[in-house]
Amino acid sequence: MEIQIAAAKINKYAVSESGDTLEVVERPNGGVSVVLADGQSSGRGAKAVSMMVVRKVIGLLAEGVRDGAAARAASDALYTEKGGKVSSTLNIASLDMHTKSIVLTRNNPAPVLIAHDDEVKPLEGESKPIGTQRTLRPLIDEMPITTGLTIAFFTDGLVYAGDRRGKPMDAQSLLSELLKDKTMTAQSIADSLLASAIDLDEGRPTDDCSVVVLKVVSLAGDSVRRMNVRLPINLG
Amino acid sequence: MEIQIAAAKINKYAVSESGDTLEVVERPNGGVSVVLADGQSSGRGAKAVSMMVVRKVIGLLAEGVRDGAAARAASDALYTEKGGKVSSTLNIASLDMHTKSIVLTRNNPAPVLIAHDDEVKPLEGESKPIGTQRTLRPLIDEMPITTGLTIAFFTDGLVYAGDRRGKPMDAQSLLSELLKDKTMTAQSIADSLLASAIDLDEGRPTDDCSVVVLKVVSLAGDSVRRMNVRLPINLG
């Protein structure tokens, strides 16, 4: 099998720094984790918050701490640091090679979409951002790694895309439509979801927007691990 | 401009865990860092060493510590933890958006290749792995981010590919050849370098082998940041 993990990310229009932070890290016992946080508001302050949350989580995951405990620790740390006044969303998706499962941990009201082939459903349960309450628990779902499984999650920039213009995003239908084409890679799905959000915002995203897609496919290629980052920069 | 960062990685033949660890992380003041370590020997022990080194470095970079200081700290930590008995190579490549430069920090005898268009040269100076001496310093090179710049570095699995069969790898010539094709992406270059090493080892890599390629191109596409990971797995 091959696991494809793809992210696509754009900043709020005319803001140079994204408030979203996303990292993909190796787990000590094999597998990888994707960690995505969206700090409250936008720009530099939001970035500092989401970076702090992601750092906390990946530091703990690296020590072998389980995802749920890492999310709680990040919540407590943010609460303590900011006196309960600043919130952040948090999503963790982990490939656990011991249990041969994917573990999805979230403190984010935005849906997490799970697809088996092109049948898409959001995970159940109401999930709240971390940072404003001491007693917050993440929602945790676990599912076996199986061919045909696709998972998509995102920050609220995607959820509210088009909202102001009265044409809200329907990520679930769009994902189902995209998955009818079996050749779509995780990257092309993430790109399409983000492009659709940008379109709905008429090319000027009203918020930072990050999309993560995981896809499990039967292995077509070699046994090489690959990672690829494309970073548009403006040195002006 | 667009910065492309690509990695391709394969394990030593018949060994399930790579001794190389590679992470790409965001820097607190913008930009990203790529950190690559190759722990002494192979398998689980080597992995623990290279993970510890990479974790130490990315933790410090996240706090705003400069690359050279982070490399020295990782060296001291490894020396202390293993009593000077275990070595690891370390490469850090950072896009520093403040200085608009690429900073290359290394404790690795393997060459770092720098290309302007298709003219390839190795960085000068002799560099030693960390962990076996207290007084080690990394070699540090800095260069402006300019279109046409390509940087390649790797672990010794690539350097010694084909060695036993008397057909050693010539990464410098190969990279120059690859760069004659202006359409090559960082990923296709990394893939080609690794494929060539695997070929020289007749399909059975004699060591873990990781290749990292950075390429600066004039921006052809949109302003979306993308990250893509492909992870072949065997659940058997």
- Reduced 3-state DSSP string for B175-235: HHHHHCCCCCCHHHHHHHHHHHHHHHCCCCCCCCEEEEEEEEECCCCCCCEEEEEEEECCC
Q: In the predicted model, is pLDDT for residue A236 greater than 80?
A: no
Whole-prediction pTM: 0.94
- For A125-141, the pLDDT digits (tens) are 999 999 999 888 999 99
Q: What is the pLDDT of residue A177?
A: 97
Residue of A nearest to B211 (CA): A226
pLDDT for A36 equals: 97
B232 touches chain A (CB under 8 A): yes
Say yes or no: A45 contacts chain B, CB-CB below 8 A: no
| pLDDT-based confidence at residue A30 (cuts at 50, 70, 90) | confident
Determine the average pLDDT of the residues in A108-120. Answer: 97
- At residue B18, the pLDDT reads 81
Contact yes or no for B55 and A32 at CB 8 A: no
pLDDT at A93 over 90: yes
Q: Which residues have C-beta within 8 Å of that of residue A198, sequence separation ≥ 6?
A: A10, A161, A205, A209
Calculate the average pLDDT of chain B. 93
Q: Is B201 on the interface with A (CB under 8 A)?
A: no
Contact residues, chain A, for B186 at CB < 8 Å: 228
Q: Centre a 10 Å sphere on the Cβ of residue B218 and count the other Cβ atoms it contains.
A: 8
CA distance B142 to B34: 15
pLDDT band with cut points at 50, 70 and 90 for residue B44? confident
Contact A7 B187 (CB under 8 A): no
For residue B156, how far is the Cα from the chain centroid? 10
Task: Name the band, by pLDDT with cuts 50, 70 and 90, for residue B15.
Answer: confident
Note which residues in 162-191 of chain B have CB less than 8 A from chain A: 186-187, 190-191
Average pLDDT over residues B186-215: 95
- How many whole angstroms separate alpha carbon A8 and alpha carbon A84? 30
| CA–CA distance, A99 with A31 (Å, rounded to integer) | 11
CA distance B122 to B104: 12
Q: What is the pLDDT of residue A193?
A: 97
Q: Give the residue from chain B lying closest to A101, CA to CA.
A: B235
| Closest by CA position to B91, among listed B178, B25, B28, B22 | B22
Model pLDDT, residue B49: 94
**Amino acid identity for residue B207 in this structure:** D
Model pLDDT, residue A174: 97
Q: What is the pLDDT of residue B219?
A: 81
Residues of B in contact with A226 (CB under 8 A): 6-9, 187, 190-191, 228-230
pLDDT at residue A14 tops 90: no
- Greater confidence (B79 vs A165) lies with B79
Q: Which residues of A touch B7 (CB under 8 A)?
A: 225-228
The pLDDT value recorded for residue A67 is 97
Q: What is the pLDDT of residue B56?
A: 95
Question: Quick one: pLDDT at residue A102?
Answer: 97
**A57 touches B: beta carbon within 8 Å:** no
Calculated CA dihedral for residues B10, B15, B21, B24, nearest 10 degrees: 40
The B residues from 105 to 144 touching A (CB cutoff 8 Å) are: none
- B130 DSSP assignment: B
Question: What span, in angstroms and rounded, lies between the C-alpha atoms of A107 and A129?
Answer: 5
Q: What is the pLDDT of residue B13?
A: 84
**Nearest to B88, CA basis, from B76, B100, B104, B99:** B76
pLDDT over threshold 90, residue B185: yes
The strands making up B149-154's β-sheet, listed across from edge to edge, are: A119-122, A113-116, A149-154, A209-217, A2-10, B225-232, A225-232, B2-10, B209-217, B149-154, B113-116, B119-122
Report the C-alpha gap between B191 and A224 in whole angstroms: 9
Please state, in angstroms and rounded to a whole number, the distance separating the CA atoms of residues A55 and A9: 19
CA dihedral defined by B232, B42, B129, B163, rounded to 10 degrees? -90
Say whether A23 and B22 touch across the interface (CB within 8 A). no
Q: How far is A75 from chain B (nearest CA, A)?
A: 19
Question: What per-residue confidence (pLDDT) applies to B33?
Answer: 97
Shortest distance, CA B154 to any CA of chain A (angstroms): 14
CA distance A150 to A185: 10
Neighbours of A103 (CB within 10 A): 19
Query: Rounded mean pLDDT of A107-114?
Result: 97
Mutation for testing the A interface, residue in B12, B196, B227 having most A CBs under 10 Å? B227
Are the beta carbons of A13 and A197 closer than 8 angstroms?
no
Interface of A with B in 20-39 (CB under 8 A): 21-26, 28, 30, 32
Q: What share of chain A is helix, strand, coil (3-state, %, to 5)?
A: 30, 35, 40
pLDDT at residue A135, rounded to an integer: 84
Task: Tell me which H or E stretch contains A195.
Answer: helix A186-200
A53-86 tens-digit pLDDT: 999 999 999 889 999 999 999 999 999 999 999 9
Across chain B, where does the E strand assignment appear? 2-10, 20-26, 32-39, 88-96, 101-107, 113-116, 119-122, 139-144, 149-154, 209-217, 225-232
* CA separation for the pair A193, A181 (Å, rounded): 14
C-alpha closest to that of B193 among B51, B46, B10: B10
More confident of the two residues A230 and A219:
A230
Contact B227 A227 (CB under 8 A): yes
What is the rounded distance in angstroms from the CA atom of residue A73 to the CA atom of residue A78? Answer: 9
> How distant is the Cα of B10 from the closest Cα of chain A, in angstroms?
5
**Closest C-alpha among B226, B128, B157 to residue B186:** B226
Q: How far is A190 from chain B (nearest CA, A)?
A: 9
Distance from CA of B185 to the nearest CA of A (A): 10
Average pLDDT in chain A: 93
Q: What is the mean pLDDT of residues B96-117?
A: 95
B11, B20, B102, B228: best to mutate for the A interface, most A CBs within 10 A: B228
Task: Name the phi and psi angles at B226, rounded to 5.
Answer: -130, 145
